[in-house]
Structure 1
């Protein structure tokens, strides 16, 4: 596994409890289907915007 990454089912930091966050794009239907199969629940939605700036 790449440095700086940890498995979702691996050890968690001390004092860390509760559900594990996931995030998927709304158009990633395959991963959303996996999340539903694993009984993950929708919690919140975020939006990201990107502006293309002209090269100067």
Structure 2
């Protein structure tokens, strides 16, 4: 097995998903649910980038 390539912040990159702050995740879900009345299942099925985009779009509407 090959050793992972070095990165800027550590000597190797283990790969995988880097954590996303759970508080921020819950805030995004609650924000979308409150404004669009979407189900939890629908919101959880969104990708991270789609969820962030909807948060941005809702923010524009309420500004």
Where on the TM-score scale, by shorter chain, does this alignment land: which range? under 0.3
Structure having the higher helix fraction is 2
Higher RCO, 1 vs 2 (CA within 8 Å, ≥6 residues apart): 2
TM-score (ref. length: structure 1)? 0.26
